[in-house]
Chain A
C-alpha cells in the first residue's frame, strides 16, 4: 500500500487520545488526520477530513461511538469504523456489528497492535478482540438493550432512581422506563430481582 492510511481518533479522554495519536504517528504508513473529543465533533471531523479509518471510543459525550458509527455508515460509507471500549458489554458488540463496525477492541490494546488492526480493517478485514467476543458469547442471548443494561448496572448497588438518573445523565422518568422494561423482559418483580437475574445470566 503506497498511500498512508488516514485515521480519525475520537476519545473524550484527552490523555489517552494524545498518547494514542503520538504512538500511531510513529508508524510510517499511518497519519492521524483528525482528533475529536465528542461524538458530534467526530462526525464533523470525519466530514471535513474524510478519513480511511475512524477509531471511536465507545463512551463519548454527545453521541456515543455506536451512534457515530451508525451515522458514518450513511454519511461516509467508505470510511471503516473501529470501536475501542473500556468494558465488553455483550450488547455493545452485537450493536457494533449490526451497524457495520469492522473492529472491536479493548482500550488497553497496545499501540503497535492497534496499528496492525487499523491496517487489517483498512484492507477490508474484520477484527474482534477474542476476549471481548468470548464474553459476549458466554453471556448468551441477552434480551436487554445496551441502555437498559447500563441503567440496570447502575441500579445494581441499590441506588435510588434519582441517583441513577444523575449518573446516567438521563431524566428520572427515562430511568424508570428503562428499569421497568428491563424488569419486564426478565420477568422480575422489581429492579433488585432484575439485577439478580441479569447477574446470574451474565448479562450485567
Chain B
C-alpha cells in the first residue's frame, strides 16, 4: 500500500517536520517572488490603450521583471541556506540581482516620460516593484544592517540617473523615502518567514539534545548498576572456580560445594542483571492486565478482562494486584490445559476485588522440582502484608477461581 503512493507524497512523508516547515517557507517565498512579474504583467496589460506607454517600456518591464523574479528566487534559495547557517552569505548573488533590478528600474524610468509628469505612473510602478522585491529577497540572505545598506545603495543607484536627467530633487527624495518604507515592510515579512523556519529547526535540535541527554543519563545508570552487580559477582565466581580447580586437582570433595556455589552465584547474577535491564519503572495494573491478556492469547488461551476503576487505584494497590495478575497468568501459561481465562476487577466500598477464573489449572499448582509452586503462597503472604486475603475456589465443573481481596487505604486513594 505504501508503495502505491505517488512519489511526491512519499518524499513529503519521508521529511521531518522542520524539513517540511523549511520547504513550506521556501516555496511561499518563491511564490511571493512570482508576484512581481504577475503584477508587472497586469500593469502592462492595464496600460494598453492608454497613451504614453511605449512598446519599448512594456518590453523592458516584462523581460526585466521575469529576469529579476528568477534571480530573486535563486537569491531566496541561497539566502535561506545562508540564513540557516549552511553556507556563507551570498553577497555576489545580492549584488548581481541588485544590479539587474536597478538596471531594469533605471531603463524603465529613462525610457518613460519625466517622472514628475502625470503619465509617469507606469515606469514608477514597475521600478518601485522591482526594487522592493529585490530588497525583500535580500533581507532573507543578509543581516538586517547589511540589508539596509544594500537597500539604500540600490535605491541611490536608481535615483542618481534620475537626478542627472533633471528630475526635481524633492520628488526623487520623496520617491526614495516611500520606496524605503514599503520595502522595509516587505523585507520584515520575508525575514519573518525565514525566521519561522529557523526557530522550528532550533526547537527540533533542542528536543534532539534533550532526548540524547535522557539516553546518556539512562546509560550512566545502566553502566553503574551493571558494574555494581556484575563486578562483584564475577570476582567471586573467578575466585571460587579457581579454588574448585585447586581442590579438584587434589581430589578433594569440597570442589563440588565450591562449584555448586559458583552455579548459584551465576544464576543470581542473571536475575540481578535482568532487574537492572528492566529498570526502576513502576507498572500500572492495566498495563499488567493487557500484557497478561496478550501473552495468554499468543498461547491460544481465550482471555477476557473486565475492569472497573483500575486507574483510580493507588500505586501500592496496583503493584500488589499487578503481582496477582502476573502470577495467575504465568500459572495458566505453564499449563497447556486451559482454553479460556477471565480477569475481573471490581472496586467498591474501599475494597478491590480481583478474580481470576480459568478452565484448566488448579488454583494451587502441584509442587515441582523447579520450585515454581511457591508463587501463590508468596502471593498470599504479600497480600496479607497489605491487609488483603487470597482465596481459591472451584468455579464450577472444571473451572478454577482465584480471588484476591485488598482493602484500599482511602486517604491514599484520595491523593
List residues of chain A with CB under 8 Å of any chain B CB.
87-88, 90, 93-95, 97-98, 102, 106, 108, 110, 113, 116-117, 124-128, 130-131, 133-141, 156-158, 189-190, 192-193, 195-196, 199-202
Tell whether A138 pairs with B274 under 8 Å between CB atoms, given A97-B295, A190-B208, A192-B215.
no
Q: Which residues of A contact B325 (CB under 8 A)?
A: 137
Q: Which residues of A contact B322 (CB under 8 A)?
A: 138
- Cα A34 to Cα B294 in complex, Å, equals 35
Q: Which residue of A97, A140, A156 contacts B287 across the interface (Cβ within 8 Å)?
A: A140
Q: How large is the interface on B (under 10, 10 to 19, 20 to 34, 35 or more residues)?
A: 35 or more
- Cα A97 to Cα B303 in complex, Å, equals 15
B369 touches A116 (CB 8 A): yes
Closest to B277 in A: A87
Q: Which residue of A113, A125, A156, A190 contacts B370 across the interface (Cβ within 8 Å)?
A: A113
A94, A97, A133, A139 — most chain B CB neighbours (10 Å): A133
Closest to B287 in A: A140
Q: Which residues of A contact B270 (CB under 8 A)?
A: 106, 108
B334 touches A128 (CB 8 A): yes
Closest to B269 in A: A108
- Cα A11 to Cα B256 in complex, Å, equals 27
- Cα A135 to Cα B300 in complex, Å, equals 19
Q: Which residues of A contact B290 (CB under 8 A)?
A: 140-141
* Nearest Cβ on chain A to B264's Cβ, whole angstroms: 9
- Cα A201 to Cα B287 in complex, Å, equals 8
A140 touches B17 (CB 8 A): no
A94 touches B369 (CB 8 A): no
Tell whether A141 pairs with B267 under 8 Å between CB atoms, given A97-B299, A202-B281.
no
Q: Which residue of B216, B291, B333 contacts A128 across the interface (Cβ within 8 Å)?
A: B333
Apart from A158-B215, A192-B211, what are 18 other A-B pairs with CB-CB below 8 Å?
A: A97-B333, A98-B298, A106-B270, A110-B267, A126-B334, A137-B291, A137-B292, A138-B291, A141-B290, A158-B212, A158-B216, A190-B16, A193-B211, A195-B211, A195-B215, A196-B211, A200-B281, A201-B287
Q: Is B335 interfacial (CB-CB < 8 Å)?
A: yes
A126 touches B335 (CB 8 A): yes
10 A-B residue contacts at CB 8 Å? A90-B291, A102-B336, A134-B330, A135-B278, A136-B295, A137-B329, A139-B287, A141-B291, A196-B214, A202-B281
Q: Which residue of A131, A141, A157 contacts B271 across the interface (Cβ within 8 Å)?
A: A131
Q: Is B124 interfacial (CB-CB < 8 Å)?
A: no
Closest to B266 in A: A108
Q: Which residues of B contact A202 (CB under 8 A)?
A: 278-279, 281, 283, 287
Q: Which residue of A87, A117, A124 contacts B336 across the interface (Cβ within 8 Å)?
A: A124
- Cα A117 to Cα B370 in complex, Å, equals 9
Q: Is B113 interfacial (CB-CB < 8 Å)?
A: no
Q: Which residues of B contact A138 (CB under 8 A)?
A: 278, 283, 287-288, 291, 322, 326
A189 touches B288 (CB 8 A): no
Closest to A127 in B: B334
Q: Is B246 interfacial (CB-CB < 8 Å)?
A: no
Q: Mark each residue of chain B from 15 to 26: 1 if its CB lies under 8 Å from any CB of chain A, else 0.
A: 011000000000
Q: Which residue of A102, A135, A199 contacts B218 across the interface (Cβ within 8 Å)?
A: A199
- Cα A82 to Cα B322 in complex, Å, equals 28
Of residues 286 through 311 on chain B, the ones whose CB sits less than 8 Å from some CB of chain A are 287-288, 290-295, 298-300
- Cα A187 to Cα B208 in complex, Å, equals 16
A88 touches B274 (CB 8 A): yes
- Cα A130 to Cα B326 in complex, Å, equals 9
Q: Which 5 A-B pairs have the closest CB atoms?
A: A192-B211, A140-B287, A94-B298, A97-B299, A97-B298
* Nearest Cβ on chain B to A179's Cβ, whole angstroms: 12
Of residues 342 through 393 on chain B, the ones whose CB sits less than 8 Å from some CB of chain A are 369-370, 372, 375
Q: Which residues of A contact B216 (CB under 8 A)?
A: 158
- Cα A189 to Cα B300 in complex, Å, equals 35
Q: Which residues of B contact A133 (CB under 8 A)?
A: 295, 326, 329-330, 333-334
Closest to B334 in A: A128
Q: Is B207 interfacial (CB-CB < 8 Å)?
A: yes
Q: Which residues of B contact A106 (CB under 8 A)?
A: 270
- Cα A193 to Cα B208 in complex, Å, equals 8
B267 touches A126 (CB 8 A): no
Q: Is B252 interfacial (CB-CB < 8 Å)?
A: no
Q: Which residues of B contact A128 (CB under 8 A)?
A: 330, 333-334
Tell whether A125 pairs with B288 under 8 Å between CB atoms, given A135-B278, A190-B211, A196-B211.
no
Q: Which residues of B contact A110 (CB under 8 A)?
A: 263, 267
Q: Which residues of A contact B333 (CB under 8 A)?
A: 97, 126, 128, 133
* Nearest Cβ on chain B to A119's Cβ, whole angstroms: 10
B336 touches A125 (CB 8 A): yes
Q: Which residues of B contact A125 (CB under 8 A)?
A: 335-336
Closest to B214 in A: A196
Q: Is B224 interfacial (CB-CB < 8 Å)?
A: no
Q: Mark each residue of chain B from 243 to 269: 1 if its CB lies under 8 Å from any CB of chain A, else 0.
A: 000000000000000000001001100
